[in-house]
Structure 1
Amino acid sequence: MLELLRGLPCSFWPRPCKRVRAWQEHGKAPSSHTGAYNQARQALPLSVVRRSCDRIFEELMAHCKPFTTEASYRAFLLDGSSMRLAHTPELRRRYPAGSNQHGPAHWPLLKILVAHDLQTGLAMRPEWGPMHGPDAVSEQRLLERAIERLPEGSVVVGDANFGVFSVAWAAAQRRHPVVLRLTASRARKLAGAPLRDGIDCQVVWKPSAYERKHHPELPPEAQVGGRLIVRQVQPDNGAKPFLLALFTTLSGTQEETLNLYGQRWQIETDLRTLKSHLKLDQFTCQSPDMVEKEIEMAMAAYNLVRAVTCQASEQSGVPPRGYSFTRVRRIVQTFGPLLAEAPNAGEAKRIYAQMMRCVQQAKLPFRRKRPTYPRQVWGKGAKFPTRQT
């Protein structure tokens, strides 16, 4: 699929193995629940998987052009989540489970950080680490590691969890613009005055004593210059309006910055797709190496599906995120063996064109905006039944 997306001739395609070639003869897909398949997974070198995931992402980023040409940059949405691992001694040592007053929990937990392109949905190879234990990592630390591999000049868009100085400093050192949401207290310190609607001023962000304590590598002259934007926002669900504070190093207008951050919710649906449709919410593999292989191969498959939607978008004019990921994934799974068995380039192009016609039918329907109602507040019940006299 990757070779066909890149436009390479049929002679470059790898020949599928006998089990895949026999798919069409017997009419039954080969099962992955076999000992031979498990041995092949374990024998696959981890370095090959990592390089393949990175190479696929780089090739598809270069091939898939932005849907709109209004912005001269590519924005990456970043967010973190947790994933449950199998209950094995090796995984529990590497990724300890949480604990409370009743003792340790059962499932080892992994904290993962993903970065998705705003327009195409393509995902960079994620960073992860233990969620609990002495070696637990924060999402900010994971972002500082992931930012090394972001495409040059990409804009980093993050919520209030990433609105800290260490993230802005790491991005500035690598010449990445940022759009970060700030908490109210941090925004007040930057503004030097109470927050109000309509603030748009130049600020110089310097690390606090707490940040210098936890980041001793910061130089004495560390600071980041940018803009502080404050705007009052009215939620769609009828809740009370609130002040949204953003720190950005972009030079665009206030409306452009606010609209860019307004698309941050897309990363939530991307995480849902990875965890629900690609089954990354609960792992069954029993070693750290297999966990890494599962994550990286799932991201490679995810990017291939996103690349198909990008190509369909170029033909129809519908945004890449206007297609159903689940339906496109099923179409790719159906046509994948047919493409692998194509005897020549002409037949492969015919099958691929048929697949793209099916993809064009996988557009998301237009859903009318449902009416919103204010949140219902229920009164607290009695803490304990009163004694009847």
Structure 2
Amino acid sequence: MASVLELFLKVVPVAFFEHLSLPLKPHHHNGVFTLPVVIWLMIFQRLDDKGSLWVAVQEVVRGLPASLIPRPSQRLRKRTVSSHTGGYNQARQHLPLQVVEQVNTTTFQQLMESRSHPGSGPKGDMFILDGSTLLMPHTQPLLEAYPPSRNQHGVSHWPIMRVLVGHDVHCGLATRPRWGPVHGPEAVSEQGLVEELMDQLPARAGVMGDQNFGVFSVAWTAQQRNRPVLLRLTPARAKRPFGPVLCSRTDQRVNWKPSRWDCDGHPGWPPDACVSGRLIVRKVYPSDGSGPTKLYLFTTLDSPADEILQLYGLRWNVETDLRTLKKTIRLEMPSLSVRRRAKKSGVGRPAYCLSR
């Protein structure tokens, strides 16, 4: 945990928090639970096995490093901090959401800039899209924001949230999660969250997606933002726009046009909407010994086909990363309000990235 704290203070030093705290109320400036202390303790909770308020406060009672509290309060200097969790809990509640978001953004940017392979293409920044759902506690605010599922037997008990994350295929760094309701009038699909996620990626970064994201809307969204894509298509989606005869050595230039159903769901697209790229088809043999399977890949990258296949193979490095992310930082920890959920998710991503 000491190495995580050291990296935390490197990417978001105390001076960064002092700048953030200038326009805030006095209780964010002084006392035991200053901005950097509160943010660090929230990250600590995500990475600790128990993750309770008491465990976090014990870190303060035992003494925090001077690098985190260069101007300690009198109670910190005299080591008379109480073990009660009320003060820390109030500090978390008073923590402005915009501070959490700024820490989230800055942490991601600093960690991305510290890597050794900037650029675009197979050796540059490529993010694989990874989606899942989370069950929320049964509270009225969350029920209204994230309606539960329903079927012929009635309505489910738990609110449910859809979440989308992008992982750098080279180092596993995670983007800030994007989320929305699965059901109700404001329901969003994983593909619908892609647009929000792409807007926060580094410049020139590309997007990779498995069969769930191998649809025209994702390719079109990336093209509108000048981002390269590498998408795996289902056999049916590959054959519908590109023809039924696709051998396992196919590598051809294609113009991907939306289907009538695609256009019906996106009335704002121009009549001549099209994404130019390549269709690569290869027979591959999984490492688990199972039978061969055909990969249908659409890409706007110009690299040789073998490099494209190697790049897509990196997806297995992060195949379970969203499950790891959910487990490591406990994304499904109880949050009784929408705002608390946003704060916990906001510090969750930095906790995960710092621990990578």
Check the 8 A contact 2:61/2:83 in 1, yes or no.
no
Gaps of 5+ in 1: 307-389
Check the 8 A contact 2:257/2:275 in 1, yes or no.
yes
CA–CA distance in 2 between the matches of 1:191 and 1:293? 45
The answer as to 2:40 corresponding to 1:23 is no
Identify which of 199, 209, 222 aligns with 1:158. Answer: 209
Larger radius of gyration: 1
CA shift in 2, pair 1:240/1:22, >3 Å: closer
Q: Which residue of 1 aligns with 2:355?
A: 305
Check the 8 A contact 2:165/2:175 in 1, yes or no.
yes
Q: Which residue of 1 aligns with 2:343?
A: 293
Offset at 1:13? 8.6
Q: Which residue of 2 aligns with 1:222?
A: 273
CA shift in 2, pair 1:203/1:295, >3 Å: same
Deviating more after overlay: 85-94 vs 36-45? 36-45
Identify which of 156, 181, 187 aligns with 1:136. Answer: 187
CA–CA distance in 1 between the matches of 2:226 and 2:307? 20
Offset at 1:65? 2.2
Q: Which residue of 2 aligns with 1:344?
A: none
CA shift in 2, pair 1:285/1:188, >3 Å: same
Offset at 1:156? 0.4
CA shift in 2, pair 1:257/1:50, >3 Å: same
Letter in 1 for 2:62: W
Check the 8 A contact 1:163/1:180 in 2, yes or no.
yes
Q: How does 1:19-168 map to 2 (within 5 A)?
A: 21-24=60-63, 34-66=85-117, 71-168=122-219
Letter in 1 for 2:254: V
Offset at 1:87? 0.6
CA–CA distance in 2 between the matches of 1:89 and 1:4? 38
CA–CA distance in 2 between the matches of 1:100 and 1:268? 31
Q: How does 1:119-268 map to 2 (within 5 A)?
A: 119-268=170-319
CA–CA distance in 2 between the matches of 1:120 and 1:86? 33
Offset at 1:85? 0.9
CA shift in 2, pair 1:72/1:16, >3 Å: farther
Deviating more after overlay: 295-304 vs 86-95? 295-304
CA shift in 2, pair 1:178/1:208, >3 Å: same
Q: Which residue of 2 aligns with 1:377?
A: none
Offset at 1:3? 6.2
**For each residue in 1:272-329, what CA deviation from the matched residue of structure 2 results, as whole angstroms up to 9, or x when unmatched?**
221112111x2311000110111110101112222xxxxxxxxxxxxxxxxxxxxxxx
CA–CA distance in 2 between the matches of 1:111 and 1:192? 34
CA–CA distance in 2 between the matches of 1:259 and 1:193? 26
Normalised TM-score (structure 2): 0.77
CA shift in 2, pair 1:16/1:77, >3 Å: farther
Secondary structure, in 3 states, of the residue corresponding to 2:254?
Answer: strand
**For each residue in 1:319-374, what CA deviation from the matched residue of structure 2 results, as whole angstroms up to 9, or x when unmatched?**
xxxxxxxxxxxxxxxxxxxxxxxxxxxxxxxxxxxxxxxxxxxxxxxxxxxxxxxx
Check the 8 A contact 1:84/1:283 in 2, yes or no.
no
CA shift in 2, pair 1:152/1:67, >3 Å: closer
Q: Which residue of 2 aligns with 1:5?
A: 10
Secondary structure, in 3 states, of the residue corresponding to 1:225?
Answer: strand
CA–CA distance in 1 between the matches of 2:183 and 2:224? 29
Check the 8 A contact 2:117/2:124 in 1, yes or no.
no
CA shift in 2, pair 1:13/1:92, >3 Å: closer
Aligned-pair identity (%): 46
Normalised TM-score (structure 1): 0.71
Gaps of 5+ in 2: 1-5, 19-29, 34-56, 65-75
CA shift in 2, pair 1:16/1:73, >3 Å: farther
